[in-house]
């Protein structure tokens, strides 16, 4: 009987004579011969006789992880709740155990799902959706063992959502983070000194502020724009889940804290635009100085950064105008200048990036020239690739604009979105782990891209058809995966750090934004 990895204690019984045989075998490889020991030592027979017989003893084999996989944070009381059991020919039932009392509070039946090639093990499901009592629990089954613990609550994910949103405050550069707001992550203002252009040290720039994006304090325009776009998409689709009580210095100013946080990054982005040309510098990095210490350097003008800047600042201006019209107008003008500069170098910019920028500028201004650019792209790409972020964002914006649009084109775009969502949904539902994953895939970036598209469609069709699929992806990220790890810091018994520190979601600003979008859809009332 194959049971996969088991959490039951393996008991190994051995006689001392057997151990001495093993010892002799090992010593053979360390300068000893098979026929005897080194000069001056006793023979095997002499050692065994001298030692005599000893009682049997037990040895506990370390277990790396359980074979019952659950969301290590928990499940919403009224949601679908499924555990994954690994192994062939498993017992037909499982129990839910109260983690505080040790009492069995529920018995359910397992359902065999067959062999999963991606993980290399047999899979069964333990469905306990009808168990809704709040508390802390774990699953147990004979032979298989027990799962990590989890909670059942009415709203188990709100705390995680708030933490994910506050990550950006903790990444702020160029300002004091007080213990009042940052706790143990508090620090003095950093990277506030004047920077220099990497290609010409005589050019000095103020590029303080923004978010740190790596352990060295680096800041990247393209990545910043990617992150902001995903956050703004979450806010635009699911505004009800964002409040003014996140616990940052701006809390209580009558502006959703997410927009306050994005404005902090937008302030930095404006500093990265060349005031004369409208072009945008690529990034900021710290380098070792020849005289000791470090220098803050600005990388040269970059077309990818410029066109992304145009789209992002236009999008932010549109969503921020009701809170600060003057600042929003400043962002819009900066976006237009960046777009016009990028137009001079069409061969250096991906067409989908032009398309996205045009949709945002058209929504914000209604200018015909931008709509013409949109139509040109959609004629060339009648079935745009929704897996590309810029395409998804541009299509979503075009569908939501109050400006004049081509109705037939909009109908076609909605059909493409639905077709894409159905493919993701079908692949997820037919997967043993209930997500659209590839074989041996540990990185979550592809899955997060999938859920971003599902979150958009779930909003458009309004019947929340894909909510369960989104929840299943959340369960995957929080422990119900082949590695039994949590990809989110501070959640679960086993962290992604045990495999690869680069696999974390919340500590990467762009992936954290996609997590927020997904959770926005799940939490939306």
- Give me the DSSP letters along 101-137: T--EEEEEEEEEEEEETTTTEEEEEEE-TT----EEE
How confident is the model at residue 64, as a pLDDT?
Answer: 59
How confident is the model at residue 294, as a pLDDT?
Answer: 81
- pLDDT tens, residue by residue, 128-151: 999 999 999 999 999 999 999 999
Q: What is the CATH code for 68-153?
A: 2.60.40.10
Domain ranges of the chain: 68-153, 158-328
Average of per-residue pLDDT across 20-38? 34
Confidence band (pLDDT; 50, 70, 90) for 289? confident
Indicate if the pLDDT at residue 4 is higher than 60. Answer: no
Confidence band (pLDDT; 50, 70, 90) for 247? very high
Give dist(CA 522, CA 436) in Å, integer. 18
The answer to whether 260 and 248 have CB atoms below 8 angstroms apart is yes
- What does the radius of gyration of the chain's CA atoms come to, in whole angstroms? 29
How confident is the model at residue 217, as a pLDDT?
Answer: 85
Indicate if the pLDDT at residue 276 is higher than 60. Answer: yes
Percentage of the chain lying above the pLDDT 90 cut: 79
Listed in sequence order, the DSSP H helices in 298-388 are 303-320, 325-342, 351-365, 368-380
The answer to whether 437 and 118 have CB atoms below 8 angstroms apart is yes
DSSP classification of residue 76: E
- Mean pLDDT, the chain, integer: 88
Indicate if the pLDDT at residue 11 is higher than 60. Answer: no
Residue 43, token pair as written in the block: 């023979």
Q: Indicate if 158-328 has the same CATH topology as 68-153.
A: no
How confident is the model at residue 36, as a pLDDT?
Answer: 36
Distances (CA, A) of 134 to 69, 73, 115, 280, 498: 20, 13, 33, 52, 30
Which helix (H) or strand (E) is 510 found in, with range?
A: helix 509-523
> In the beta sheet, which residues pair with residue 121?
116
The answer to whether 197 and 295 have CB atoms below 8 angstroms apart is no
In the numeric block, the tokens 């679960």 are attached to 492
Instruction: Give 412's contacts (C-beta < 8 A, 6+ positions apart).
Output: 382
Give dist(CA 469, CA 473) in Å, integer. 6
> In the beta sheet, which residues pair with residue 283?
220
Residue 248, token pair as written in the block: 């940052």
Instruction: Give 451's contacts (C-beta < 8 A, 6+ positions apart).
Output: 470, 473, 514, 517, 518
Listed in sequence order, the DSSP H helices in 188-248 are 221-237
Give dist(CA 296, CA 69) in Å, integer. 46
CATH level 3 topology of 158-328 = Glycosyltransferase (1.50.10)
How confident is the model at residue 439, as a pLDDT?
Answer: 66
Give dist(CA 45, CA 388) in Å, integer. 72
- pLDDT tens, residue by residue, 458-493: 998 877 889 999 999 999 999 999 999 999 999 999
| Cα-based angle 460, 465, 470 (whole degrees, multiple of 5) | 95
Indicate if the pLDDT at residue 5 is higher than 90. Answer: no
Beta sheet of 283-288, edge-to-edge order: 200-205, 195-197, 294-298, 283-288, 219-220
- pLDDT tens, residue by residue, 87-117: 999 999 999 999 999 999 999 999 999 999 9
């Amino acid at each position: 009987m194959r049971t996969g990895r088991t959490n039951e204690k393996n008991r190994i019984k051995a006689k001392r004579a057997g151990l001495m045989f093993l010892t002799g075998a090992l010593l053979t490889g360390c300068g000893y011969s098979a026929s005897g020991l080194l000069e001056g030592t006793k023979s095997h027979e002499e050692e065994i006789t001298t030692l005599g017989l000893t009682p049997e003893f037990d040895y506990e084999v370390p277990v790396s992880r359980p074979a019952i996989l659950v969301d290590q944070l928990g499940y919403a009381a009224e949601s679908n709740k499924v555990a994954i059991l690994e192994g062939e020919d498993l017992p037909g039932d499982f129990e839910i155990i109260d983690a505080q009392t040790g009492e069995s509070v529920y018995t359910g039946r397992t359902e065999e799902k067959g062999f999963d090639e991606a993980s290399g093990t047999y899979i069964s499901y333990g469905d306990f959706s009808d168990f809704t009592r709040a508390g802390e629990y774990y699953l147990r089954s004979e032979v298989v063992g027990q799962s990590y613990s989890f909670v059942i609550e009415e709203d188990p994910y709100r705390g995680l959502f708030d933490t994910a949103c506050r990550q950006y405050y903790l990444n702020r550069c160029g300002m004091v983070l007080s213990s009042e707001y940052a706790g143990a992550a508090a620090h003095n203002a950093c990277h506030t000194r004047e920077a220099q252009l990497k290609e010409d040290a005589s050019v000095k720039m103020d590029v303080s502020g923004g978010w740190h994006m790596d352990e060295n304090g680096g800041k990247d325009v393209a990545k910043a724009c990617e992150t902001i776009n995903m956050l703004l998409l979450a806010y635009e689709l699911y505004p009800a889940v964002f409040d003014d009580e996140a616990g940052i210095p701006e809390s209580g100013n009558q502006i959703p804290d997410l927009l306050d946080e994005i404005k902090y990054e937008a302030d930095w982005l404006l500093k990265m635009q060349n005031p004369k040309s409208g072009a945008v510098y690529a990034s900021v990095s710290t380098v070792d100085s020849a005289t000791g210490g470090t220098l803050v350097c600005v990388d040269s003008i970059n077309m990818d950064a410029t066109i992304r800047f145009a789209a992002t600042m236009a999008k932010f201006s549109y969503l921020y105008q009701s809170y600060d019209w003057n600042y929003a107008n400043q962002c819009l003008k900066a976006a237009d200048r960046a777009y016009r500069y990028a137009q001079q170098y069409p061969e250096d910019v991906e067409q989908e990036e032009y398309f996205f920028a045009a949709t945002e500028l058209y929504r914000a201004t209604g200018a015909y020239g931008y709509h013409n650019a949109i139509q040109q792209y959609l004629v060339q790409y009648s079935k745009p690739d929704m897996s590309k972020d810029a395409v998804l964002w541009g299509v979503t914006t075009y569908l939501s604009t109050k400006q004049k649009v081509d109705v037939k084109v909009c109908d076609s775009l909605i059909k493409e979105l639905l077709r894409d969502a159905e493919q993701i949904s079908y692949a997820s539902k037919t997967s043993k782990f209930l997500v659209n994953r590839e074989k041996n895939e540990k990185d979550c970036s592809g899955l997060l891209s999938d859920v971003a598209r599902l979150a958009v469609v779930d909003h458009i069709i309004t019947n929340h058809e894909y909510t369960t699929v989104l929840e299943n992806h959340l369960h995957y990220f929080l422990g119900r995966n082949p590695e039994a790890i949590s990809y989110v810091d501070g959640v679960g018994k086993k962290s992604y750090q045990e495999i690869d520190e680069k696999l974390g979601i919340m500590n990467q600003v762009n992936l954290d934004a996609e997590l927020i979008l997904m959770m926005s859809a799940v939490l939306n009332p």
